[in-house]
Amino acid sequence: MSQQTLKQQALRIQRALANNDYARITKDIHPTRGVRFSMYAYVRPESDKVFSREQYAQYLQQSKIRFTWGERDGTGEPLIIPLPEYLDTWVKAKTFNDATLSVNEFQKSGNSINNLNKIYQNSDVVEFYYKGSDEYSGLDWRALRLVFDDYQGKRYLVAVITDQWTI
């Protein structure tokens, strides 16, 4: 599959998330592995939330069910919110409407160790990078990494990883 096709799929997912049309990406989720959500660059297979397609669709509907997504950098406070709220306030896909895209290449990294290539060795990654604002000297930069794996001749989403400046 071409990089262009991969970018188009990633853009379609980013746009759906940016428009709060979360259900639209359900069919993009890997049919057997589901999708993992990582709050920061460091992927934690033992504690990051992983949802099957069915669970993802269910938790969008049951928006009162709260999950512990991880701990906020700096405060160590756990982030405990429902899936739709996580997508809206943490993934914040709208931030990446005019982002720079790259395939299998990281444009920026913070203090968090980026172990993506170790965890997803045979995957493709599309990174959306927002360079941040002049107002904050770029310290408000953010990255959204969509990780894809092939399955039965099609490419599916296996991870949604966000990255940003950390302490």
Can you give the residue ranges of every domain in the chain?
3-164
Provide the pLDDT for residue 95. 93
Structure tokens at 78: 């756990």
CATH architecture of the domain 3-164 equals: Roll (3.10)
Provide the pLDDT for residue 108. 80
Distance (Å) of CA 45 to CA 15, 98, 119, 120: 27, 30, 8, 11
Query: In this structure, are strands 78-82 and 66-71 parallel, antiparallel, or unpaired?
Result: antiparallel
Tell me what the mean pLDDT of segment 55-59 comes to. Answer: 97
Supply the mean pLDDT for the chain. 93
Provide the pLDDT for residue 1. 63
Provide the pLDDT for residue 7. 96
Provide the pLDDT for residue 57. 97
Distance (Å) of CA 116 to CA 44, 73, 78, 152: 10, 18, 22, 23
Tell me what the mean pLDDT of segment 33-54 comes to. Answer: 96
pLDDT tens for residues 86-97? 999 999 999 999
Give which of 2, 26, 1 is closest to 13, Cα–Cα: 26
pTM score, two decimals? 0.94
Asked if pLDDT for residue 167 goes beyond 80, the answer is no
